[in-house]
Amino acid sequence: MSSQDDPAAACPIDHKSREAWLAQARASNQQPPNPHSTTPAPSPTPPQSQPSVQQSCDSSTLDQSSSSPSPQHTSLLSTLRLATDREVSSIPRSLPTNTNTPSGPANSERDTGSDKKTGNWIYPSEQMFFDAMRRKAYDPKENDMKTIIPIHNAVNERAWYEIKRWEAGRSDACGGPKLASFSGMSTALTPRARWKSFMGYQTPFDRHDWVVDRCGTKVEYVIDFYAGKDDGGEKGKGLSFYLDVRPKLNSFEGWKMRVGRYWGFS
């Protein structure tokens, strides 16, 4: 797979979105937010300029290798500055039962696999992030990686936290839900996001569709990613983001879960 055609550099959060988070971090001069903060998530704010839409990504198109690649065209000084250790996520990875198929799905970046001890997805290292951005002709800064990595990981952890709230009590018999696959569809607004844009709210900067394995049954979720309220770079105010996570309305189960949540049954 050539670097130009490598979709990993845009998954699961495209690099322009990452740059938006980084700009917000620089403005506020704060550390990335706690993904499990009890502070209520802010509502989408009025329209603002958004990064141009990105091509979609799909976990099935990503390299399934669990090995970490060597730095690509990176100076020795950059290599020494960038960490190569990788954080194990809290997201369990659903592995295929058919041994004749590749060991997918991949997680958030190209050269990733599951943690042998926990079976969870593994986030990319600073070095892997830096190399991925270089492959996509961005101009990454080594010092920025220490900010981008926690933001990237926090966004994904928050998404999984919200999915677990939906899945609570539905998959206890098999140890809880697992993530089977994802696809990025930033070029396609969800009906809810489109309606909100008509009402004058900003559009999400990205959209993902995640497929969750619930004891062998696949349940599809859609996630709209919004930037949080702008505190004007005021010190003492952390970064904020808002994820609208809900089951897709493409199945009876999705409708049942959404209606149940609306009426307070779940």
* Residues 108, 125 contacting (CB under 8 angstroms): no
For residue 131, give Cα distances in angstroms to 51, 76, 193, 251, 253: 21, 13, 33, 39, 41
pLDDT of residue 1: 36
Measured CA to CA, the distance from residue 11 to residue 9 in angstroms comes to 6
Q: Which residues contact 38 (CB under 8 A, 6 or more apart)?
A: none
* Whole-model pTM over 0.75: no
> What is the full per-residue pLDDT of the chain (266 aa) written as tens digits?
333 334 344 354 555 566 666 676 666 665 555 544 444 444 444 444 444 444 445 555 444 444 455 555 555 555 557 988 889 999 999 987 654 544 443 433 343 566 777 889 888 888 888 888 888 777 888 888 888 888 888 989 999 999 999 999 999 999 999 999 888 877 789 999 999 999 998 888 889 999 999 999 999 999 999 887 665 555 545 567 899 999 999 999 999 999 999 999 87
Q: DSSP assignment of 111-174, as one string? A: S--B-TTT-EEEPPPHHHHHHHHHHTT----GGGHHHHHHHHHHHHHHHHHHHHHHHTTTSGGG
pLDDT of residue 247: 97
| Interior angle at CA 163, CA 177 and CA 132, nearest 5 | 95
pLDDT of residue 55: 44
Measured CA to CA, the distance from residue 47 to residue 38 in angstroms comes to 26
